A = this chain, B = another copy of it.
Amino acid sequence: MNESKHGDLGTFIRQQRERANLSLRRLADKADISNPYLSQIERGIRKPSAEILKSLSRALEISANSLYKRAGLIDEELAPTSVFEAIGADERLDTEQKKVLLDMYRALSRINGTVTTEKQE
């Protein structure tokens, strides 16, 4: 009955996987699920349980929350957390690297037009 909702989830997962440069099998391995099943999830054929989602969130290094939200399992808004904030808080980057990345981000989002990205910090 809810196919479109979960189709969207699958697409999201596939996008995240591709961004992480992982093949279907590699992600499946990392998340301890079978690769055909992951394939079916991404195409919206199967609807993963929350445990599977949790594994996937860990394997993809994104918060379980954002995945659940995408899956329609959480309605509430919780962590809007901007890219600015996230970069600023990242411990792996030094100050200069943060600056580079932020410049990049600003440039990209400006190219894309549509928005008033005045918010800078």
Task: Name A residues whose Cβ lies closer than 8 Å to a Cβ of B.
Answer: 1-2, 15-16, 18-22, 26, 30, 32, 49-51, 53-55, 60-66, 68, 71, 73-76, 78-90, 92-95, 97-102, 104-105, 108-109, 111-112, 114-118, 120
| Cβ-closest chain B residue relative to A53 | B50
Stoichiometry, as copies per complex, reads: 2
| Residues of B contacting A51 in the complex (Cβ-Cβ under 8 angstroms) | 1-2, 73
The 3 lowest CB-CB distance pairs between A and B, nearest first, are A50-B50, A86-B86, A81-B81
| Residues of B contacting A78 in the complex (Cβ-Cβ under 8 angstroms) | 65, 78-79
- B88 and A86 form a contact (CB under 8 A): no
| Residues of B contacting A116 in the complex (Cβ-Cβ under 8 angstroms) | 61, 92
